[in-house]
């Protein structure tokens, strides 16, 4: 059986890099060369650092800190607001390049993908040279840099891509695990959240190597059976999860994002769901489809994943309807005690026929929603996706908490 070969490609400081590329196209300066950051509105509670440049890091600025604090440490800090329409455009261009090289591409967020390169040795006899080619093609065509991890499974490829940045290729094959993986702090192992890391460190388990050599039953006693087995396997570089690439035509449409800042409130979650619903519904409408089933997936900052879905009596392609159902699903499964680091929406059970029952009294709210969606789609198609954005408010009654 041929040996697996997996690449993990991760954009370096995606939000900041993509804003820099746009500014350079306008003849403006490169944010990556100066202390700079992408941040929320400083006049609101969301004014926190979402991404930072390498020069900003020298001032002690870190992701998640309030913008006002960052400015006190670096008064010359250049800061720009997030632009999710821009990020979607850049992400599509990024993924399109990866599909030129790999037969199977799994996009896990706007700025990272897994590539299954197994069986491509006749086309690409040197995996490391191919990884450099991918990295350099992205930089030359799109103007931003990526890291590429090369390994025999998704876990090790992910860990490798997180080694020294930016604009680098790293390998982490099985024979390199003792040298490259085991000396790292245990909290750097994929799947080890802050709380789990603290538990392990209190027991004297400081490195990934120490975790790998520990009896699995002891790890299970500390963090639970399922997580203990998984972390022991990960520490030893074991992962058999496949690189998935499902046909949207056959299965459905989905979009997810790994968040730069943990989501802690319904108000914050609403903004993410709106962006996801807008994107995935627009793609589905372009495919001429409607969905009978809406699903929401979230992952907490402790790496626990939850999913809920709802079947509809009639199929929909209306953004507001998809958003409303998604928000109800989120409330059902999220207690808001644990922050979220990933959110996603999926649209499945597709139909390409207008299967809604014909009524003598059309639903005016639905018709208005469809007119708005058609107008938004038409404007974006003619002038670009960043020309118009949606605005909506959480119908919660609770406000921010």
pTM of full prediction above 0.75 = no
For residue 15, the SS3 value is helix
Residue with more model confidence, 156 or 64: 156
Sign for the pseudo-dihedral over CA of 394, 347, 340, 94: negative
Section 180-188 average pLDDT? 96
Mean pLDDT check: name the lowest of 45-49, 299-303, 352-356.
Answer: 352-356
Listed in sequence order, the DSSP H helices in 74-149 are 84-101, 127-142
Q: What is the DSSP letter of 163?
A: S
Candidate list 106, 112, 268, 321, residue with the active-site label: 112
What's the pLDDT at 67?
87
Section 32-56 average pLDDT? 81
The model's confidence at residue 278, banded by pLDDT at 50, 70 and 90, is confident
Give the list of residues 6+ apart from residue 105 with CB closer than 8 angstroms, or none: 95, 98, 99, 113, 114, 115, 116, 243, 245
**Is 112 one of the annotated active-site residues of the chain?**
yes
Section 130-149 average pLDDT? 96
What's the pLDDT at 378?
65
pLDDT 10s digits, 195-208 = 888 999 999 999 99
Q: What is the DSSP letter of 288?
A: T
Average pLDDT in the chain: 84
Residue with more model confidence, 71 or 288: 71
CB burial of residue 174 (10 Å; 0-12, 13-18, 19+): middle
What's the pLDDT at 123?
82
What's the pLDDT at 246?
55
Which range has the top average pLDDT, 152-156, 298-302, 382-386?
152-156
| pLDDT tops 70 at residue 388 | no
Check: CB of residue 158 under 8 Å from CB of residue 7.
no
What's the pLDDT at 45?
45
Section 273-301 average pLDDT? 87
CB atoms within 10 A of CB 336: 14
| pLDDT tops 60 at residue 243 | yes
Which range has the top average pLDDT, 45-54, 119-128, 325-334?
325-334
| pLDDT tops 90 at residue 358 | no
What's the pLDDT at 342?
87
Residue with more model confidence, 327 or 379: 327
Using CA atoms, how far residue 127 sits from 101, 155, 175, 276, in Å, is 11, 17, 16, 34
What's the pLDDT at 77?
93
Phi, psi of 265 (to 5 degrees): -130, 160
What's the pLDDT at 381?
53
| pLDDT tops 70 at residue 364 | no
Could you tell me how far CA 200 lies from the centroid of its own chain? 27
| pLDDT tops 90 at residue 391 | no
Instruction: Tell me how far apart the alpha carbons of residues 326 and 330 are, in angstroms, rounded to a whole number.
Output: 6
Residue with more model confidence, 376 or 395: 376
CB atoms within 10 A of CB 97: 15
**Domain architecture of the chain: domains with CATH:** 6-13+85-177 (3.30.70.270), 16-82 (3.40.1170.60), 182-235 (1.10.150.20), 248-386 (3.30.1490.100)
What's the pLDDT at 122?
79
Of 268, 260, 234, 283, nearest in space to 95 by CA:
283
Of 193, 196, 155, nearest in space to 172 by CA:
155
Section 158-164 average pLDDT? 94
Mean pLDDT check: name the lowest of 150-164, 219-233, 284-298, 364-378.
Answer: 364-378
What's the pLDDT at 42?
63
Instruction: Tell me how far apart the alpha carbons of residues 150 and 172 are, in angstroms, rounded to a whole number.
Output: 6
Percent of the chain with pLDDT over 70: 85
Section 98-125 average pLDDT? 88
What's the pLDDT at 91?
92
Check: CB of residue 147 under 8 Å from CB of residue 165.
yes
| pLDDT tops 90 at residue 33 | yes
| pLDDT tops 80 at residue 163 | yes
What's the pLDDT at 261?
76
């Amino acid at each position: 059986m041929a040996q697996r070969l997996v690449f993990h490609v991760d954009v370096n400081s995606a939000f900041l890099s993509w804003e820099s590329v746009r500014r350079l196209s306008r003849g403006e300066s490169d944010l990556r060369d100066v202390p700079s950051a992408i941040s929320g509105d400083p006049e609101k509670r969301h004014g926190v650092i979402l991404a930072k440049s390498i020069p900003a890091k020298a001032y002690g600025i870190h992701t998640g800190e309030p913008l006002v604090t960052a400015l006190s440490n670096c008064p010359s800090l250049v800061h720009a607001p997030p632009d999710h329409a821009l990020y979607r455009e850049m992400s599509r261009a990024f993924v399109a390049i990866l599909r030129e090289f790999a037969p199977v591409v799994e996009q896990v967020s706007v700025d990272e993908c897994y590539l299954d390169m197994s069986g491509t040795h006749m086309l690409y006899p040197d995996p490391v040279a191919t990884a450099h080619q991918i990295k350099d093609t992205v930089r030359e065509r799109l103007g931003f840099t990526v890291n590429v991890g090369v390994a025999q499974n998704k876990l090790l490829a992910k860990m490798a891509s997180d080694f020294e940045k930016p604009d680098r290729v790293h390998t982490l094959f099985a024979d390199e695990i003792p040298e490259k993986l085991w000396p790292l702090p245990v909290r750097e192992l994929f799947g080890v959240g802050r709380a789990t890391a603290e538990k392990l460190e209190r027991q004297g388990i400081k490195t990934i190597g120490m975790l790998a050599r520990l009896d699995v039953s002891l790890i299970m006693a500390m963090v639970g059976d399922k997580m203990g087995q998984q972390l022991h396997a990960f520490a030893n570089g074991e992962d058999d999860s496949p690189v998935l690439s499902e046909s949207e035509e056959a299965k459905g449409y989905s979009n997810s994002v790994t968040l730069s800042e943990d989501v802690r409130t319904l108000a914050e979650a609403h903004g993410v769901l709106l962006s996801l619903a807008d994107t995935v519904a627009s793609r589905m409408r372009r495919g001429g489809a409607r969905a009978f089933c809406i699903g929401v997936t979230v992952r907490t900052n402790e790496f626990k994943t939850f999913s809920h879905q709802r079947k509809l009596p009639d199929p929909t392609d209306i953004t507001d309807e998809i958003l409303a159902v998604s928000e109800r699903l989120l409330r059902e499964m999220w207690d808001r005690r644990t922050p979220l680091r990933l959110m996603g929406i999926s649209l499945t059970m597709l139909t390409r026929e207008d299967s809604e029952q014909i009524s003598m009294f059309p639903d005016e709210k639905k018709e208005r929603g469809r007119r708005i969606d058609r107008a938004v789609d038409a404007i974006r198609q003619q002038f670009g996706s960043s020309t118009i954005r949606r605005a909506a408010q959480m119908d919660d009654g609770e406000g921010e908490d």
